[in-house]
Structure 1
Amino acid sequence: MLKEQLDEIFAGNVALDEEVVSTKFYAIIKRLSPDEAYALIDEAIAYLITLKESEAIAYMLEFISSLYGIAGTNELTPLHEVKATVIDRQVELYGNQFAHNVLNNLKRELGTAK
């Protein structure tokens, strides 16, 4: 379910408009309970690690941050724990400054910043 919605947001090579992306993310998350949000984090992580476009990576990191916020926890999901170094490497390889900043903010929020 989430993958199809994310594919719709990131489909094609169209330049991503922050307002459009934010609106579509909000449509996904606006009615989520904390448990539902936490349950979607792994699916969002799995989607994130397939991306290679810096802005899409940054927006997905923001989306994941929102899911953690709705869930009301900084406890990493099992998949996030396993893929944290993959995400770091992905941002290092493909991310722009925006993606680096969002990743650093997410790490601070989750208490995993070094």
Structure 2
Amino acid sequence: MAKVGNSQGSARRRPTGSGRAGAAGSGKRGPGAGSSSDAGTPSAELTAKLEPRKGPTKVPLNTRVLASTEARLNWLVNNRQSTVTNVVDVALQEFFDRYSVPPADHDGRIAEQES
């Protein structure tokens, strides 16, 4: 069954190009690399790579689905280069919009609706 939320399979996926090979370098040094004046200060490029990823907060969601639903979900993930998390989030957002569920803020709170 497809796992939703903080599963190990989806948590380990990284976008193309974000592997460790670029972070470690190829052993080549550019101009000024290794000079004593820069020895204690990390470069702007290194600092940018070490900053935490910024994005919406995610929480685990565990559920059981029909085997036919899982098959369709897996097909979509594999044929559209997506993730289970993204597919489920988009599907739920469309469902909520259809039933006029009010939106939540970035902290996950829904404002009280005035009548």
Q: Which has the higher contact order (CA 8 A, sep 6+)?
A: 2
Fold conserved between structures, TM > 0.5: no
Bigger-Rg structure (1/2): 2
Q: TM-score, normalised by structure 1?
A: 0.29
Q: Which has the higher helix share?
A: 1
